[in-house]
Structure 1
Amino acid sequence: MAEIMIIDDDTHINDMLCEVLQSEGYTVSKAYSGTEALLLLSGRKPDLILLDLMLPGLSGEELLRNINGIPVIVVSAKTATSDKVGLLLGGAADYITKPFDIDELLARITVQFRKSRSLSEGVIRCGELQLDTDSHTVKYGQKDIKLTRTEYAILKLLMQNEGHVVAKLTILDKISDDTPDCTEDSLKIHVHNLRRKLKAVSDTDYISAVWGIGFMLKC
């Protein structure tokens, strides 16, 4: 069963989440400070992390920058939109504010594991849209969509972060190995062409621009 690490200095919340998650069949590990969590993560890799921000020692924001390859759901009392946007752009997979409904949190955890399973199977799905990472093909239903190398790389990244804004500089950084020719000036053109191709076969505008920040794909 999947392992979830809870990082929260509030012992009541930490213990409550541990009990609920174990009752759902998850394996649970716990940390009560950012420093303790960093030490634990040096020797193990949980499948998902629930991260509070206001931690003793290393803060949640600082810890997030040291976590790679593990989906992180931020669970915090900070409610400002700027905090949420900054953390989502900084690598968090999701954000839920305290106090939270436990059923909603469990649903968000399920969504993250569903995404992870899709990635491990080599196929990323978004409604009828599917991208095969093994064959590098994209389909809408049974219709093939012909994309350039750059368009494919952009779509793959946006589908991996479905429902979240991906900053322009993040896109350029993540796809740089595959598409070194893509620049900040040409990115808008590539996205425009990608949106046009997707809409032509699906009659759906999957990708939206978030002014001054980046782009988001929504099913």
Structure 2
Amino acid sequence: MKTIAVIEDDQHIGNILENALKKEGYEILRAYSGTEAVYLLSHNTPDLILLDLMLPGLSGEEILPKMTGIPVIIVSAKVGVDDKVNLLLSGAVDYITKPFEIRELLARIAVQFRKENRQNLATVLKVDNLTLDLSSHEVVANDVPVHLTKTEYAILKLLMQNPNQVISKTVILEKIFEDTPDCTDRSLKQHISNLRKKLRDAGNKEHIEAVWGIGFKMKF
């Protein structure tokens, strides 16, 4: 069952969203301010976030960069094209303007989960000159085979499945735990350093970018 975090200070709108989403079979998390949302996401990893912008405390714009590795749909009364463009470029996957039709929002959510399912079903991931075969576990950079450890492979697969998103260290650890439970917060930095070096040596370029204070993403 998918979990959706509804970050909305208007209790009436939040209740409407929660009721509609529960009818569709989703589990719901709620936060009513930007500060509460940061706390919520530090203890939970939902599959998707619905984010209002005009929140008490920290605004939606301020907390969006902290929502790494999770698709975020902006639900806001701001209608300016510049607002939409800036937020989409800052990491949001979609933007819907209030007032909205609940059917349209549900359709947009379904589209995001369909994209995720297609990515998970893909047998070969490609980013720039880097290829990862999910069936054979072979990794090739610039036509040069790259031999990775189990942990390095799990990290690279996660990053390549989310090539346009910055993924925090916490989310990386949570997502790869099933494959590599021995990877810890302390050892993750070294695993990523080794992975970046192997890819750089094979592909003659930097494939993974460190985003200071947040996490890592694929570099194009």
Give the TM-score normalised by structure 1: 0.61
**Structure 1: tracts of 5 or more residues without a match:** 1-6, 10-30, 45-52
* Separation in structure 1 between the aligned mates of residue 181 and residue 46 of structure 2, nearest angstrom: 26
Which AA in structure 1 matches 2:18? Answer: T
Q: Distance in 2 between matches of 1:129 and 1:139?
A: 6
Asked if structure 1 preserves the Cα contact closer than 8 Å seen for 2:168 and 2:216, the reply is yes
Give the aligned CA root-mean-square deviation in angstroms: 4.1
Aligned residues: 176
Q: Secondary structure at the match of 1:157?
A: helix
Question: CA–CA distance in 1 between the matches of 2:19 and 2:119?
Answer: 31
- Structure 2 CA distance for aligned equivalents of residues 121 and 114 of structure 1: 11
**1:187 CA drift (Å):** 0.8
Residue number in structure 1 paired with 2:128: 127
- 2 CA distance for matches of 1:203 and 1:114? 31
- 1:83 matched residue in structure 2: 63
Counterpart for residue 27 of structure 1: none
* Equivalent residue, structure 1, for 2:105: none
State the percentage of identical aligned residues.
Answer: 37
- Provide closer, same or farther for how the CA distance between residues 160 and 37 of structure 1 changes in structure 2, counting only shifts above 3 A: farther
Q: Distance in 1 between matches of 2:160 and 2:147?
A: 17
The yes-or-no answer on 1:34 pairing with 2:17 is: yes
In structure 2, distance between residues paired with 1:169 and 1:141: 30
TM-score (norm. length: structure 2): 0.60
Contact 2:208–2:217, Cα closer than 8 Å, also in 1:
yes
CA-CA distance at 1:192 after TM superposition: 0.5
CA displacement 1:133-192 (0-9 Å, x = unmatched):
111111124321111111000111111222222111221121112112211111111101
Distance (Å, rounded) in 1 between the aligned partners of 2:16 and 2:70: 18
What are the residue-to-residue correspondences of 1:50-129 with 2, within 5 Å? 68=47, 72=48, 74=50, 76-78=52-54, 80-86=60-66, 88-89=67-68, 92-94=70-72, 98-99=78-79, 101=81, 116-129=117-130
